[in-house]
Amino acid sequence: MPVVELRGNIDLRKALRDFAPDLEKELKMELHKALRPVVRQAKSFVPAVSPMRGWAGRSYSEGRFPTYNAATVTAGITYSVSASKPNKNGFTSMARIINKSAIGAIYETSGRKNPNGQQWVGPTAGGYSKGVSRSNNPNAGKQFINNLPPLVSSLKGRGRLIYRAWAENKGLAEGVAMRAIDSARQQFYARSKTTTFSKAA
């Protein structure tokens, strides 16, 4: 699932939630303001129709590869301003933009790892690896990627939707978010010098 994350001090979020919920609410509002324009722009990059005829939705099944649906991709691009749980490397995020749908993730990142498509093994190959192509067409992966727009690089990664929007935003969203986090931290510390905190109900 492609994600653009803003990492920060999760202990601060917990302290705000427990002892200064008004500052937590204010911080969330500022994070909303920062990320909403990026999400809106990312949604605008979703093609209304499938980039290739064979990927379009159809009324009958042709394997497990999901078919293209613009509404599904658009609906799957969203954001969260809640602190995340630690990932496998122990990192947490203060806020993130997410591409939730499988088809959106495919459109977003195809070709990032394998610019010429996955290794072709053919439809009769054994095994269960998802990292290979089992298409009848040995050039299917390369043709698929060539039909997609180029990947756009940002400081958070490369992609065609949220990463492209992040690149075109030129750091404005991250700047707004980081200033909001710093402001909340400063206000909390200033308040802690003059107030005896009690845990919010």
pLDDT, residue 162, reads 97
The predicted model scores a pTM of 0.83
Tokens of 89: 């490397």
Residue ranges of the domains in the chain?
A: 3-103+153-192, 111-147
pLDDT, residue 117, reads 83
In tens, the pLDDT along 51-86 reads 888 787 655 555 566 889 999 999 999 999 987 777
Is-contact 81 98, C-beta < 8 A? Answer: no
Q: In b/e form, how buried is each residue of 142-176, taking b as 16+ CB within 10 angstroms? A: bebbeebeebbebebbbbbbbbbbbbebeeebbeb
Low-confidence ranges of the chain (pLDDT < 50): none
In three-state secondary structure terms, 68 is strand
pLDDT, residue 2, reads 66
Contacts of 164 (CB under 8 A, 6+ apart): 42, 45, 152, 154
In tens, the pLDDT along 7-23 reads 666 788 888 888 889 99
